[in-house]
Structure 1
Amino acid sequence: MTGKVWAAVGVLTALAAGAWWYTHPRPALPDPPAPPADTPHVAAVSTDCADCHRREYDTWFRTYHRTMTRDAAPDTVKGDFAGAAYEYAGVVTRATRRGDEFYLETADPGRAARTTEYRVDRVVGSHWIQEYLHRAPTGQYVRLPVLYHLGERRWVHSHGGFLAPESADFWEHSRGAVWNASCLYCHNTGPRKNPVRDALGRPAGFRTEVAELGISCEACHGPGDAHLRKQRGDTIHPADDVVHPGRLPVARRDEVCGRCHGALVPKPEAWDRVTHRDPFVPGRPLEVFNHVFRSEGEQAALAAGRPKAKERPTPDPTDGRFWGDGTPLTTALEFNGLQLSACYENGTGRLSCMTCHAMHGDEPNMLVRPAARGNDACLSCHPAYREKLTEHTRHAADGAGSLCYSCHMPHQVYSLMTTHRSHRIQTPELADSVGTGKPHACNLCHLDKSLGWTKAELAKWPGPAGKRAAAVKLDVDDEANSAAVLALLRGDARTRAVVAGAFSHEAAKRAGGADWHGAVLTRLLEEERYPVVRYLMGRALPDPFDALAAPAVRRARLLELRGRYGPPVKPTAADWARLRAGRNDPDVTVNE
């Protein structure tokens, strides 16, 4: 591919979220000291560790951390490259394989109405969605605009793979998506960005290095070369600094996870300005090397070199990472949610990431420990509720309503075309869902109920919690109409995505019935401009519906289904039009 075409792709690192070194140079900062010449770090790759730690290696090998990033090969590429053709917005993308190499022929970003064939050089993802990267001559790995949904085994355009409004620009959500700048640090071990500049000091590409693709042993246990040399009998070796996260204090332990599952902006004085090597070492405080932010506004201020030690800007209505009350709304921010939890006690108590998760356990999907698949993890700190569970939950003991995390860690998080549990462990306060965009936990299960119903139920709770709920002011629509339907009618795309996802949950179908879902969702699908929200609503319909199909195909199927389900009973047609006309619908993007 020519240099002119790559210029048209717009993949210069200055456009990427992680490329703040380029856009905010700080020449006055001193370079960090170089490591002693006689103790170079030679990465201990996972196979080295396997020699002595076979069980740990085998359990880690089964996890999706290992396969976050891989070079393209027959055993790593999961998409259908057997001559598959996928059409989106009039462009036909063809996926083919020649020997052990894989190719995507798709729209050329610099030449209208033409296609170009790109070799797939690297893949990101092996759990939910797999992205395909092409290596440019500049060393930049650029995300191609067509993704593969692993669960459904189908091709999806990036417009439908991320929460963003549909666009006529075929490359919009891939333009500027450079692996070296945005995916490198949390999807690999021992990353060094190694940006390259031309003779005039302008960004000219990368010579990126990693110790190992994917998340492997050194990411959590620290540098292992000295440990290896010691175990192999070397008589002269530096200090053995391998860390066992489970033996660290809670705060240091969780920062090992928070390095990738937290909202961070590097502190330039702590990072090497030449290599941009990640300096974090497990066991050291994370904030020595990074700022933690709690809104996209704060992120931008920190990246621009304007740290505000005491100011935590309130997330605005288009924030793609946090709800209006500060709760993380997307994945990869679990550490921030935990930090906001009273149970966490600022890292001084017993609760930690490892209370519920184990990298070397028996469950490679979400790494959840057996005790955390029910209530045991919560009851280990709150034993009094074991004997009065139903009195506290007011739900049947064997139902979803009596699982602690149903109410205290509800599905208020969106990413990767589905919804996930919040890691902010909190009492479901009604006030937190008024004016913040964040759906209330009760109404993510009781989809047929209004916030007025929720207020009345919560007000029955004894003590301050009930009084706080009773004091919340609701408008007449919130009092009278299903909170879920209202959210889909007048909420922003973030709220609509989370609520639409709830319609697929079996617990919600049992709690509020499902016979009314089709009438509501097919009416809303007709006018939804976010492909992901359409997908989540379509997934919840009682009958098959391809929400990512071509517009004409969708319209024909919707007419058929609307005739079958009939019109919604409530709100009335007049109220429906009034509420829909008042929708808060700014452009929002969630890049996860």
Structure 2
Amino acid sequence: MQKVKFFAGWLACGIVLSAAPAMALDSKNEFAGSEACKKCHTEEYNSWKETFHSKIVQTRRAGILKDAVAKWRTDGKNAGPSVSNATGNPAKMDDVQYVVGSRWKQRFLVKNEQTGNLQFLNKQFNRLTGQWENYGNKNDWDTNCVTCHTTGYRILDVDEATGKTLKSEFIELGVGCESCHGPGMKHLKAVKRDKKSTIFNPANFTVKEQSRVCGYCHVRSENQLYKTSQGTNREDLPAPNLGDSFTASDDWTNWYPDKVVIPGVQPDQPFNKEYGGDLKGLFNNDDFAKANGIYEEAMYHAEYQGFLQSNHYKSGMLSCITCHAPHAGKGRLRKVARDACHKCHDASYTAEKYMPNTGKSADNYYIRSHTFSGTPRQPAKGTAAAAPTMRYE
């Protein structure tokens, strides 16, 4: 990691998020923002705008769920959010600046007056049950989850003594075009003959390299190099050098290997090991798993670690985007993941049978395993179909 200066007492994020637009300033002028892609890639852009990638973080006005607003004080059984997690200060719905998520659950961000960053409230809203659940993440969002919730994130300054993130920035809320295709400013400015060489197109790479792009965020890890504002290990993987941002062609699996634990990805961190801390119980490690030699995900956003164990991945047959698509292509509809099995297998191959519900996202919500075992375990109680997302405004 680069040697950096310590700015005493300044723990503020590089962008003042209370006033942050969808596209913020890029100090290195590398990223163009998704809006810039729209001019030449209209179909792809419009399709992406309908995905949850584009809506993972939104302003309160644009994204808060209608039911969450109606039940803010109580769902009839449980009290709604009233306290900020990092500082313990009281908070109201009017204090919410951003919301995170909307498909499975929704969490709420308010300003941390002590650091200038954003912090979570003490409850999350479960869309299936329509009820409030406790949520205890006491770390600033800007210094823990933000790498995968925004586009173009980079750390600008850390405290050398503690590793705490002091200053950072991003260029766009949500998972934008450049999250998967790399910085687009050179592509935007390039003459026609150089267009293809100035952007990352997954179609030009191996299926394992394609999946690695998705794996950057769909993975669980513990970062011992970079810390949150509160001094705990981060859960995301910022780029090794200060001022750099992850780009789609990066092999993040080799970043600072002695300072990060990525179970199942690093050779010395096997799937069948018992991990501690926030990684405790990451994989099913019971007799059934040992007999099959497959350790299904037991927590959410570990899809990449599940997929690495599958014959689909090991044989190089397919990648994440064989079944999933972050947007449609010209003249093609966006893929429906649950229908993908039938392209290669008969009708007996279903997601319900070969992708048992394992990784828990919220009460009553289970994420499907991506290990594709030939002898799948009996699934958990499963995930009911969620109604269409209804936002307040």
Q: Which has the higher contact order (CA 8 A, sep 6+)?
A: 2
TM-score using structure 1 length: 0.48
How far residue 352 of structure 1 moved from its aligned partner, in angstroms, is 1.1
The alignment-based identity, stated in percent, is 24
- C-alpha separation between the residues in 1 aligned to 2:384 and 2:62? 33
| Contact 2:298-2:359 at 8 Å conserved across structures | yes
In structure 2, give the amino acid aligned to 1:427: G
Alignment match, 1:403: 349
- C-alpha separation between the residues in 1 aligned to 2:313 and 2:42? 33
Alignment match, 2:46: 58
Alignment match, 2:55: 67
Task: From 351, 372, 383, give the equivalent of 1:425.
Answer: 372
- C-alpha separation between the residues in 2 aligned to 1:49 and 1:415? 32
Is 1:351 the counterpart of 2:318 in the alignment? Answer: yes
Give 1:361-400 correspondences, 5 Å limit: 361=328, 369-370=335-336, 372-373=338-339, 375-379=341-345, 386=346
DSSP-derived class of the 2:370 partner: coil
How far residue 350 of structure 1 moved from its aligned partner, in angstroms, is 2.3
| Contact 2:253-2:266 at 8 Å conserved across structures | no
Is 1:259 the counterpart of 2:259 in the alignment? Answer: no
Give 1:261-300 correspondences, 5 Å limit: 261-264=218-221, 271-272=239-240, 274-275=242-243, 277-278=244-245, 280-289=246-255
Task: From 43, 52, 64, give the equivalent of 1:77.
Answer: 64
Give 1:163-202 correspondences, 5 Å limit: 173-174=136-137, 176-194=138-156, 197=159
Give 1:179-578 correspondences, 5 Å limit: 179-194=141-156, 197=159, 206-230=166-190, 240-264=197-221, 271-272=239-240, 274-275=242-243, 277-278=244-245, 280-289=246-255, 302-303=260-261, 309-310=267-268, 312=270, 314-316=272-274, 319-324=280-285, 325=289, 326-345=295-314, 349-361=316-328, 369-370=335-336, 372-373=338-339, 375-379=341-345, 386=346, 402-417=348-363, 418-428=365-375, 440-441=377-378, 444=379, 498=380, 501-502=381-382
| Contact 2:82-2:122 at 8 Å conserved across structures | no
- Cα distance per residue 1:106-149 (max 9 Å; x no partner): 489878xx955471122111222111111213123111012223
How far residue 89 of structure 1 moved from its aligned partner, in angstroms, is 9.7
How far residue 229 of structure 1 moved from its aligned partner, in angstroms, is 0.9
TM-score using structure 2 length: 0.70
| Contact 2:126-2:132 at 8 Å conserved across structures | yes
- After superposition, the CA RMSD in angstroms is 4.1
In structure 2, give the amino acid aligned to 1:223: P
| Contact 1:139-1:205 at 8 Å conserved across structures | no
In structure 1, give the amino acid aligned to 2:146: L
Q: Which has the larger radius of gyration?
A: 1
Alignment match, 1:296: none
Is 1:134 the counterpart of 2:110 in the alignment? Answer: yes
- C-alpha separation between the residues in 1 aligned to 2:224 and 2:139? 23
**Which runs of no fewer than 5 residues in structure 2 stay unpaired?**
1-10, 13-26, 227-237, 290-294, 386-393
Alignment match, 2:233: none
| Contact 2:143-2:165 at 8 Å conserved across structures | no
Alignment match, 2:3: none
- C-alpha separation between the residues in 2 aligned to 1:46 and 1:69? 15
How far residue 227 of structure 1 moved from its aligned partner, in angstroms, is 0.7
- Cα distance per residue 1:328-385 (max 9 Å; x no partner): 1222111111110122225xx22111221111239xxxx9724851642332xxxxxx
How far residue 77 of structure 1 moved from its aligned partner, in angstroms, is 2.1
| Contact 1:121-1:134 at 8 Å conserved across structures | yes
**Which runs of no fewer than 5 residues in structure 1 stay unpaired?**
1-11, 14-38, 94-103, 160-172, 292-298, 380-385, 387-396, 430-439, 445-497, 507-592
| Contact 1:252-1:284 at 8 Å conserved across structures | no
Alignment match, 2:23: none
| Contact 1:315-1:323 at 8 Å conserved across structures | no
DSSP-derived class of the 1:134 partner: strand
Q: How many residues align?
A: 330
